[in-house]
Amino acid sequence: MHSHLDNVFIELMASNRGPSYAIKVVNAADDLYIIDVELRFVTGRVYCCDEPSCHLSSNNRRLLEVARQHAIPLPEEVIVRWHCYIEQGSRFESNKAFNLPEENTAYDYVVERNGTQRK
């Protein structure tokens, strides 16, 4: 089931501007009510920024549409926990504006469906 879910999230994120991410579903409840997704900003690729509001939708409407196209019935109340990993050597265009180094050091954060962020 995870490989089918991987495809859903890969397609969902493919509509974003810029280079692709490394994406994989790392856990999913049997009822698909909670899904944990690993999203990696890949070494050597240039992204606009690391802001969750820029890369992740504030609601799951598009996710539900893509899942339906893949014949995966996600519950309307699905909770997605995005485990975001910034790989060392990935780059953000926004770093220039803040006089930060071009290449990032590694760090991570988690964003849940409601948009809350925890380090």
- Looking at residue 46, the DSSP 8-state letter turns out to be E
Question: Which of 14-18, 33-37, 50-54 has the least mean pLDDT?
Answer: 14-18
**Which residues lie across from 102 on neighbouring strands?**
none
Question: Which of 25-29, 48-52, 80-84, 107-111 has the least mean pLDDT?
Answer: 48-52
- Rounded distance, CA 104 to CA 45, Å? 11
Q: Return the pLDDT at 82.
A: 95
- Tokens representing 37 are 């997704």
The DSSP element (H or E) to which 27 belongs, if any, is strand 22-28
Instruction: Return the closest-CA partner of residue 83 out of 31, 17, 22.
Output: 22
- Tokens representing 53 are 């509001």
pLDDT > 80? residue 2: no
